[in-house]
Structure 1
Amino acid sequence: MKLSKNSIVIIAFLLSLSINSQEILTKEKALEITLENNFGIKIAKNNLEIAENNTSIYNTGFLPTATLNSGANYQRNNQSLTFTDRTTGNDSEISGDGVVSKTYNASLALNYTIFDGFGRKYNVQQLKETYNLTELQARETIENTYLQLFTTYFQIARLSENTNNLAEALTISKQRLQRAQYQYDYGQSTKLELLNAQVDVNNDSITLITAKQQLNNAKRGLNVILGSKDDTNFDVETEVDYNKMLNYDDLKSKTLENNSLLKQNEKNIAISEFNIKINKANFLPSLNFNTSYGFNKTVNENLINPFGAKLITSDGLNAGLNLTWNVFDGGATKTRVTNAKIALDNQQILLEQQKVNIENNLKNTWENYNNQLFILSAQEQNVLSNQNNFDRTQERFKLGQITSVEFRQAQINLINAKTALNNAKFDAKLIELQLLQLSGDILNVKF
């Protein structure tokens, strides 16, 4: 079936409408989807739930233990008994085959540790600190996911704008090729001008295809971060706002107070302190209470012993206290306490090291951020200058006052300037997010 020219135009128009109506994935929506579906965040939440379960009273040792035991036993034996008459000294024997004895028993035992040298108390406090540590680890995971999300999001925005710039450049190159073709057909230019225009169109086409491929790859990467199972296509917002209220002294104060890595190390120190106390608890005695109620029944059938009992039953309540004091364990407890103190010292050293490293990282990032804002301002002026230069060059090229080489150079300069501006714009925002992550404020960022 042949399509008319009008039909082709209509189809192209509808396709353009479809492309232009592609869904916009806002920053807020991307963040909402990520917090709900991201795989790493889901695992972090599960780990937090495990840590919470570990702080339950069922895992602290403060509850008693109860044990129920029961059993039954059946015996069928051949028996013989020999009696000696004390008067005559003669022996007499009684025997029986298939003598049956049945035994039944049941008991309920309750055990409770009254005192264990405060080991349980310190263990509970350590479990609570472990939960707090896991909570901070989950927060760090979310912070890293925030940064990963917006790094990819802004990379898509960067590639989208670069792709649009390259598409615009290709359109200009095609117009130049068409002009060169007309001039060559009418003998107003040489074959060389036409060939140069064709080469530039090919190069611009290849560059545009490469940019589109990079854009598609970045979108697929964002789908992974979003936890999306489908290969969803979308557009993103390209507007960027900067936080003009950032101050180095405030950032430093917040970093030392709220940085997730520093907070985690502080919790590790608390855990190490409780570990020392838990090990020291082994120097003290432990007191345990136990009680049980038991029932036993024995049934002896076809007895051969005339003095034996055919039925024996017993039941009763037993209770007791047990004091245990490991006076000397060969120095094992002393060694564990000493090693726990060394581990605590290592955690304190690590905290100081982290403070130095993070403060140095903050200084470098802050300086980089200010430099990037300056570069952004300079690139904005550079684009204006190159755009003005290109517009003038294009007019002169149309009038035949300059060569295609000069026109092409002006076009390349404009493309490079726009690309550099895009890079500066999004790099500055990403560095700003790194500053907010260092200060522990990235989760409060507003877009």
Structure 2
Amino acid sequence: MTFRFISRKSQTRQAVLLAAALLWAMPSGMAADLSLQEAIRMALSQNTGLKITQKGEDSAQAALNQARGSNALSVSASDSLTSSREKGSSRRDSNSVGLNASFPLYSGGKNQANIHKAELGVKAADLATERSREDLKLNVIKAYYDALEARKTVEVRQETVDKYQEHYTNVSQLYSAGSKARIDVIRSSVELSNAKQNLIKSQNSYEVDLAALRNYLNMDRAEPLSLTTDFSYDAFAIDMNDCIHYAWLHRKDLLQDQYKLEQQEQAVKAAKAGNLPSLKVNLGLDQSNTFHPSSSSGHGASAGVSLNWNLFDSGVTKAEIQAAQIEYDIARLNLLKDKEDVDLAVRQAYYNMREAEKRFNSTKDAVNQAEEDYYIAREKYRAGEGLMLDIIDAQEALSTARLNYISAQYDYARYKASVENAMGISLTPEEKQAAEQADMDTSSVLASSAVNREAGDTKAAARESMTQAGTAGMVSAGSAQTASASTTGEVAAELAGNGETK
């Protein structure tokens, strides 16, 4: 067995080797334990969509190199072979070799504006990647809690089926003894069938949610998972107005819009440079050789400064300036619109979080009361004093109370994560490490996966990808709620330092 990994530090090597050994030693039918924090790190290191977004950084850097090159020394070489013959003379064969260099002395500010624009493009691309990572983190959190809620829903539905099955058995026995009517047996059978239908739907929803989570993690789609991080209430103490103010300062997409606005400002400057002269220095070396009818050669050198000034171009430059100015106005309006959208996103997530929090607190006692009501209805029916409808209503109320409690819990967890995402809270240091490790490991992961696909071993390819790209960024951590509480505490501390926390 061969393990391949990126050499960094001794501790990292040991962690990768240990994690890889655990993955390979894991039986194929055994469910892998997965905490929320581990899921986030795996997604940041393995998600394919995120890797596509990161390619935008390479494109922006290439554009910057191109802009810088247009304002630097350029050298060109030329060679020509000529054969000519005039009437009354013999054929003449010759060739000419030249070497020319040029350097722009003044471009009216066009080259400098293009360079600055490209530099801003690099910064904007970096921010786009960071924002994509934050959005991916939110999607993983939602998918993880969706799967947890679906699993809890399956448990409630299964318990409902078991209780209806128990009740159906009891009613059938009472009917056989002659103490209950046939209609009670039929009604009990119908309710049992309906409960089984709900259970089947819940089981399917759970599998679908797990599939969505695996897709974000880019792992083996058939790998069994055991989600180990459950809901833990973590109060969110930051005022909504402070959240909005924080978002305006820290949202990566708003900062990206600001860079785009400055880019368009540089584009206007570059367009206006078309009304100004340009100055360039030129140096040249040339050598000519004649082969026929006689052999001769000569060489020379030249140097000069050229001035170019476009005095009239039928309004082309003016139109370019107008187009650049329009793009600047669009960028400015986009910045304003996105600030409005950020304000709305924070408010919606915040209100939804508070609503879920209230539901969570109000349904704490409802489950116990519904359980007591069901117990009373069941015992009264057994004693011959109750009705079938009482048991059905009590069971439906109990299932509804439990499902409402579960929904309120995970709604709060999801909306709390949405608020933090809308605020633009950055990744934790461990999450950034996983994302940075993915940048270095992308090439090796793709190559490794290709080899395994050719061998027809899909599961081995997924495990090796996890070993090289995911486990290198995984470190031991506490629960996801503890990390979330720490992040919220840091934001609150920052706001408190600015005198803004209420």
Indicate the SS of the match to 1:380: coil
Indicate the SS of the match to 1:287: strand
> Offset at 1:316?
2.0
* 2:126 match: 135
> Offset at 1:59?
4.4
Indicate the SS of the match to 1:402: coil
2:424 equivalent to 1:440 = yes
Gap regions ≥5 residues in structure 1: 1-17, 82-98, 302-309
Tell me: CA distance 1:330–1:19, structure 2 relative to 1, closer, same or farther (3 Å). closer
- Residues 433, 442 of structure 1: 8 Å contact kept: no
- Residues 60, 124 of structure 1: 8 Å contact kept: no
Tell me: CA distance 1:229–1:166, structure 2 relative to 1, closer, same or farther (3 Å). same
> Offset at 1:173?
1.4
Q: Measure the CA separation in 2 of the matches of 1:272 and 1:233.
A: 50
For the aligned residues, what is the CA RMSD? Answer: 2.6
- Residues 169, 411 of structure 1: 8 Å contact kept: yes
Indicate the SS of the match to 2:312: coil
2:146 equivalent to 1:152 = no
Residue 373 of structure 1 aligns to which amino acid in structure 2? E
* 2:241 match: 249
Q: Measure the CA separation in 2 of the matches of 1:177 and 1:232.
A: 37
- Residues 231, 410 of structure 2: 8 Å contact kept: no
> Offset at 1:39?
2.2
- Residues 170, 205 of structure 1: 8 Å contact kept: yes
User: May I ask how many residue pairs the two structures share in their alignment?
Assistant: 404
* 1:269 match: 261
More divergent stretch after superposition (336-345 vs 402-411)? 336-345
Report which of the two structures shows the higher radius of gyration computed on alpha carbons: 1
> Offset at 1:407?
1.4
> Offset at 1:317?
1.7
More divergent stretch after superposition (348-357 vs 155-164)? 348-357
> Quick one: which of 403, 428, 433 aligns to 2:387?
403
Residue 72 of structure 1 aligns to which amino acid in structure 2? L
Q: Measure the CA separation in 2 of the matches of 1:323 and 1:275.
A: 23
Q: Measure the CA separation in 2 of the matches of 1:299 and 1:41.
A: 62
* 2:476 match: none
1:246-301 CA deviation, whole Å, 9 max, x = no partner? 32232122011112332222112111111111112222211111112112111224
Higher strand share: 1
Tell me: CA distance 1:26–1:196, structure 2 relative to 1, closer, same or farther (3 Å). same
Tell me: CA distance 1:442–1:189, structure 2 relative to 1, closer, same or farther (3 Å). farther
Tell me: CA distance 1:417–1:318, structure 2 relative to 1, closer, same or farther (3 Å). same
> Quick one: which of 284, 308, 330 aligns to 2:314?
330
Q: Measure the CA separation in 2 of the matches of 1:229 and 1:24.
A: 14
> Offset at 1:116?
0.7
Residue 254 of structure 2 aligns to which amino acid in structure 1? L
* 2:75 match: 66
2:332 equivalent to 1:348 = yes
2:261 equivalent to 1:294 = no
Written as runs of structure 1 = structure 2, the 5 A alignment for 1:94-109 is 101-109=92-100
Higher helix share: 2
2:7 equivalent to 1:23 = no
* 1:172 match: 163
Indicate the SS of the match to 2:52: helix
Q: Measure the CA separation in 2 of the matches of 1:406 and 1:386.
A: 12
Residue 141 of structure 1 aligns to which amino acid in structure 2? S
* 1:202 match: 193
Tell me: CA distance 1:72–1:346, structure 2 relative to 1, closer, same or farther (3 Å). closer
Q: Measure the CA separation in 2 of the matches of 1:331 and 1:153.
A: 59
Q: Measure the CA separation in 1 of the matches of 2:33 and 2:181.
A: 47
Q: Measure the CA separation in 2 of the matches of 1:300 and 1:206.
A: 97
Tell me: CA distance 1:215–1:247, structure 2 relative to 1, closer, same or farther (3 Å). same
Greater RCO structure (CA 8 Å; 6+ sep): 2
More divergent stretch after superposition (332-341 vs 290-299)? 332-341
Q: Measure the CA separation in 2 of the matches of 1:46 and 1:20.
A: 37
Gap regions ≥5 residues in structure 2: 1-26, 429-479, 485-502
TM-score (normalizing by structure 1): 0.83
Tell me: CA distance 1:63–1:23, structure 2 relative to 1, closer, same or farther (3 Å). same
> Quick one: which of 426, 431, 434 aligns to 2:415?
431
Q: Measure the CA separation in 2 of the matches of 1:247 and 1:239.
A: 23
Indicate the SS of the match to 1:107: strand
> Offset at 1:21?
6.1
* 1:89 match: none
> Offset at 1:243?
4.1
Q: Measure the CA separation in 2 of the matches of 1:435 and 1:78.
A: 84
More divergent stretch after superposition (264-273 vs 333-342)? 333-342
Residue 57 of structure 2 aligns to which amino acid in structure 1? L
Q: Measure the CA separation in 2 of the matches of 1:181 and 1:363.
A: 55
* 2:365 match: 381
